[in-house]
Structure 1
Amino acid sequence: MHGRERDINDIPPKSRRLDSIGALIEGTNPCGAAYFDGRTLLLATNNNIESELIKDIKRLLTYISVSSELQYSDREKPDYYEWRETINQRIKDIKRQYCTRFRNKGKYYEQFTAALEKVTNSIILAYSNPSDERAFTTGFVRTLAENRYTFIEGKQNVHAELKIIQHLMEKKRIGRRGGTEESIYIGVSKRCCLKCEKMIEAINEAAGEMGFSAIEELISIRGIHRQIFPATIPDFIDYNNNILEEGFRRNIRRKFLAKMEVDSLSKAFAMKGERRVDGRIQVHERSPHLRIGLKR
C-alpha cells in the first residue's frame, strides 16, 4: 500500500500546528515530532536527551498560554500593547539565542521562525477567537498552561515519529483489542523517510486486519520523501520485548520487511541513500503533502 496525494488543505490547521511544534523542537537534530494525547503534549527527537532548546520552547509556550488566558479572561487585564510586546520580546530573545546555531542548518532557521509565529497565533486565538479554525482547542492550551509535557527519550537515533508511536504502544493507545476509533496525527518537522513511511503503513494495515483499529487510517503524518537514512531499530518491532502482542508484532514486521524488500531488520535500518519508487509515492519539493495509510 502506498501513501496517496493529499493537499495541505486536507490537513486541519490544528494538526499542522503539531508539525510546527515538531519544527520548534528539532534544533540540531534530524527531526522533531509532537503528538497531543488529550492531556499531555508528547515530544521527541532522534536524540535521547532533552535539549536546552526544548526546555526553552516549553517555557515559552507555557508563558504565552498563561498570559493569553489572563489577557482574555474576565479578570483585570494587563495593558494589551504591553502584553503583546512582552510576548514579542520573548520570541525575539529565543530567535536571537539560537539564530547563530541554526543559520548554518540550511533553511531551518526560516522554518523555526515561521513555526514560532504560527504556534503563538494559534495559542492566542484559542483565547481571543476560539471558533477560528487555526485556534488550538481549550484542552490543548490548558495542557500548555499547566506545563504538561513529556519528552520521550527512547534509544538514540530512533526516528522521532517512531518514538512517539512506541510510547503510544506502551500506553496501549495502539495495539489494544477493541480498536482505536480516532486517527492519530503525529506532527513532524519534515516529511518522513522511506523507513518510517513503510513502518507506518505496516502498522496501519496490521492494526486493521487484526482488530486493533476500527478506522482505516490509524496513524497519519504530513508526508513522505524518497530518502533513506540509517537508524536504530525501535524496540516495538524487536522480538526481545513484550510491548505488542506477538502476533501483531510479527505481522507488522513481516509487512515492513516486504515493503522494504529485505529479509532482516538490521538490513532495513542500515539502508541509506535514495530508493527508486514508482510515481504513486514520488515527492518533489513542491508536491502536495501525502497521506500515509491504507487506500480508501
Structure 2
Amino acid sequence: MSTTYRKFTLGNTITEEQQAFFDRNGFIHFSDFINEDTVNDIIKASRQVEQKWLAEQRVKVNGIPVKYGKDLDGSAIVQRFAFINQHHDLFAELPRDPRFEVLLNLIGPGARLGTEEKDGMVLNHYVNGAASKFTQMGWHTDGLRDIFHGQKLNPMLNVGIHLSTLQPENGGLRVLPGTHKQSIYQMLFRKKYFLDNKADRDEIAITPKAGDLTIHDGRLWHRVAQSSVIGEESRRRVIYLPIIAGKYEPKHENSPTAFYQRFAGLVK
C-alpha cells in the first residue's frame, strides 16, 4: 500500500481534494490549527486540572478510569485525562471554535462533537523515563467500543490536537491507511488488540508540529509508538475529541465503567 503523506490547511470548508484524501486513506492532517500561545495555555490548564485531581485522589471521571504515572523526577502525574472539558473553562471553550463545525462535514448530516459522550475530550501525556508506564499503546481501532456494547458500528472520527512537535523517533500516532474500509472480521482480528505493538511495513508515522490537528476514522487500525528517546525530549501531549453520529448517549458522574476498561492495565 502506498500513500503520499500530505498536510493540508483547514479553511471555511472541506475541499474536494481534502475529502478525497480522507475517504481514500481514513486520516487527514491540518497544519497550524492553534498557535503557540494557545498550546502553552492548554498545557498550563492541564497542569491545573492535574493538581486538583492529584489532591482529590480522583479515580474515575464519568466512569472512565484516570490513568496516573510518574514524571521523570518520580513525582505523580496524570497521564490520561478523560472529560477534561468538564473540568476547566479553557477546555470547555475549545470545542466551540467554529472550525469544528467544518470538520463535522467529513461525516455529514447528524454528526456532532462528543464532548459529553464516550470519553469526552481526552488529554494524553506521554513521557519516557525510568518509572514510565504509559509510553505506548498497541494496535487497535476505536470502533471496537460499539461492538463491545453490542451496538451498531456508527460513524466516528477521532480529532487530535497536537501539543508537541514530533519526529518519528519521538513516537506517537501510527496509522494503517485504508483500513477503515475493512470487513468487520478484519476489524476484529487483523491484529491483537492493544497487545501487538510491532511496527507494520504499511504504517505511516504522523509527525505533527505543536498546534497541528489530525483526524482519523474510528475504524482505522492505529497505534501509539513508544519514543526511542528518553527524558524530556520524549514528552508529548495530545488532545483527542470524537466526532460521532447515531444515538445521543451522554455520560454522567454515575456512569458505569465498561468491562473492557477494567483491563486498562494491559494498555501501556
TM-score for the superposition, normalised by structure 1:
0.29
Instruction: Report which of the two has the higher share of strand.
Output: 2
Instruction: Report which of the two has the higher share of helix.
Output: 1
